[in-house]
A and B are shown apart, each in its own frame.
Chain A
């Protein structure tokens, strides 16, 4: 009797769990797309779904590091992700990305040569540049009386509790490093220690360390100064004409976010279809207009309205770009950055 009961219990359990495990093969393909928050015109996704009959499961992340940890832990099998430059080289090194078959992505020809063959993907095998831009300071002209041309202003006592910093380690440590006149890709422990001290010194002046909320806060005048990505600055300036954007003279970060296909993807063909679709000229234009970041798509750029095309925030001069550095993958030194950031955040 006892044995039968045991058997029944197990059998019941298996029955209950069956519906969760069954894999129906005939079902439509679902693409898992993993992107930065607020970094796509979502109507473009439905256009893709309608055109190809592929369902898109769209998820977002707040920092490159978040995305890396999630893909590495392998919970969801993402088919398309949009990391930045340094994270791409890290993922290539760790064998996390698939080579893209460019015969399936003919629209790659529209990408400006400037953004091909960059250091993170020298042979153009793994990535398709999606958007680019620079990091700088957004400020409210009514609240800031000093000229904003240096990172030093973020350490100015006058603006105590009116400064917003990005809650992202590379960006914030980078700001401190450049303030000190060092490279964004410093691996020297002493210099990093100095940067840490700078950030701790700055902490009492900082109103908050935030991510996408920066946009709302700056638009509604909650803060006077914020570190921000140029693309977001374009949007903020549209919403609040008192805001202005500047790239500090010490230099800044130039980033290129690209579409990649992680190794976890089971639908490489569909993923390539998705990438190709995103670079259809009309789609790229629509998407660029929505996001406000700078497009590497030559034809889409030409179609933008005059005001955007000559907007120095989104498309800065060569002279500004020369000051900017692209992040490099720091490999093992990244642990040091992790530690510094943890300590800065924990300090009081």
Chain B
């Protein structure tokens, strides 16, 4: 009985800050307001399925996938190497990895702007060694770079956590039974670390697919992603109904993709998000 009562403040909190806003978003997405007229409509959703917006959706998913894959390719080896280091170094390495995250991510993204500019540090360096100035700023690559840079720790940390928890005796057993290093990795370490990989993928994919700050700062407002589209509807245009409809579509997509990811994670051992 008592324990139930402790839950009231939490319930209160969740109702006001999670359930109610979600309900409002849904309400906005299903209504329209045109001058004095207002009513229920599906037109906001229908509008989203016009080719021009679908293209934005595809572009967002595409860029987010590319970033997630790059993060995985970079993140797994990093996590593996750190997990193999001895305990003293391990903690220092992880700390070094985390320190940049103590800074606001907008600040770090602004820093990239000055690095990537035509007359920026990177291009000055490239020019001085004769590789000529590259046009990186305000391109797709700049946006992907920004995402990978900002979200890489979200890939490394869950994989690292799973890797250090793997029972060493399993690896020793594999070695005793004659498996070489590569076979041991493929047959033992990799399957055991999959839950971490799956958490990592979800944790990178979700913020990448919804980001609007990175694409605006590094993409110069020409790579409209789904996040930018939503932001634009709320901040500039004031069409909250359409903006809410896009948000709902987005939520459904994320929900589905998380459901799919969870299927792979049969043992539910990973650092789950939900």
Which A residues form the contact surface with B (CB < 8 A)? 1-2, 5-6, 9-10, 12-13, 63, 65-66, 68-69, 72, 161, 167, 169, 203, 206-210, 220-222, 332, 338, 341-343, 345-348
Nearest CB of chain B from residue A1's CB, rounded to whole Å? 8
Question: Is B178 in the interface zone, CB < 8 Å from A?
Answer: no
Question: Is B8 in the interface zone, CB < 8 Å from A?
Answer: yes
| A-contact 0/1 string along B11-45, CB 8 Å cutoff | 01000000000000000000000010000000000
Are the CB atoms of B236 and A63 closer together than 8 Å? yes
Are the CB atoms of A222 and B117 closer together than 8 Å? yes
A-chain residues with CB within 8 Å of residue B220 when the two chains form the complex? 207-210
Interface of B is mostly: helix
Task: Please pick, from B2, B8, B135, the residue contacting A161 in the complex, using a CB distance under 8 A.
Answer: B135
Question: Is B1 in the interface zone, CB < 8 Å from A?
Answer: yes
Q: Contacts A65-B237, A208-B138, A343-B52 hold; do A220 and B224 have CB atoms under 8 A apart?
A: no
A-chain residues with CB within 8 Å of residue B52 when the two chains form the complex? 343, 346-347
Chain B residues numbered 132-179 whose CB sits less than 8 Å from any CB in chain A: 135, 137-138
Q: Contacts A13-B9, A345-B221 hold; do A220 and B238 have CB atoms under 8 A apart?
A: no
Task: Please pick, from A9, A210, A221, the residue contacting B119 in the complex, using a CB distance under 8 A.
Answer: A221
A-chain residues with CB within 8 Å of residue B1 when the two chains form the complex? 1-2
Q: Contacts A207-B138, A209-B222, A210-B221 hold; do A65 and B228 have CB atoms under 8 A apart?
A: no
B-chain residues with CB within 8 Å of residue A6 when the two chains form the complex? 5, 8
Q: Contacts A2-B5, A221-B119, A222-B118 hold; do A346 and B239 have CB atoms under 8 A apart?
A: no
What are 6 pairs between A and B in contact, CB < 8 Å?
Answer: A9-B5, A9-B6, A207-B220, A221-B118, A222-B118, A338-B237
Task: Please pick, from A209, A221, A347, the residue contacting B221 in the complex, using a CB distance under 8 A.
Answer: A209
Contacts A66-B236, A209-B220 known; list 5 others, CB within 8 Å. Answer: A1-B1, A210-B220, A338-B239, A345-B228, A347-B52
Nearest CB of chain B from residue A163's CB, rounded to whole Å? 11
Are the CB atoms of B221 and A346 closer together than 8 Å? no
Count B interface residues, CB 8 Å: 34
Q: Contacts A208-B138, A347-B52 hold; do A167 and B221 have CB atoms under 8 A apart?
A: yes
Question: Is B61 in the interface zone, CB < 8 Å from A?
Answer: no
A-chain residues with CB within 8 Å of residue B269 when the two chains form the complex? none
A-chain residues with CB within 8 Å of residue B12 when the two chains form the complex? 13
Chain B residues numbered 100-139 whose CB sits less than 8 Å from any CB in chain A: 117-119, 135, 137-138
Q: Contacts A208-B220, A332-B35, A348-B59 hold; do A342 and B232 have CB atoms under 8 A apart?
A: yes
Closest to A166 in B: B221
A-chain residues with CB within 8 Å of residue B135 when the two chains form the complex? 161
B-chain residues with CB within 8 Å of residue A210 when the two chains form the complex? 220-221
A-B pairs, top 6 by smallest CB distance, nearest first, are A208-B220, A209-B221, A338-B237, A69-B238, A5-B5, A345-B224
A-chain residues with CB within 8 Å of residue B53 when the two chains form the complex? 346
Question: Is B234 in the interface zone, CB < 8 Å from A?
Answer: yes
A-chain residues with CB within 8 Å of residue B35 when the two chains form the complex? 332
Closest to A208 in B: B220
Nearest CB of chain A from residue B18's CB, rounded to whole Å? 17
Question: Is B229 in the interface zone, CB < 8 Å from A?
Answer: yes
Q: Contacts A9-B9, A209-B222, A210-B221 hold; do A342 and B229 have CB atoms under 8 A apart?
A: yes
Question: Is B235 in the interface zone, CB < 8 Å from A?
Answer: yes
Closest to A209 in B: B221
B-chain residues with CB within 8 Å of residue A345 when the two chains form the complex? 221-222, 224, 228-229, 232
Are the CB atoms of A69 and B234 closer together than 8 Å? yes
| A-contact 0/1 string along B210-231, CB 8 Å cutoff | 0000000001111010001100
Closest to B55 in A: A348
Closest to A347 in B: B52
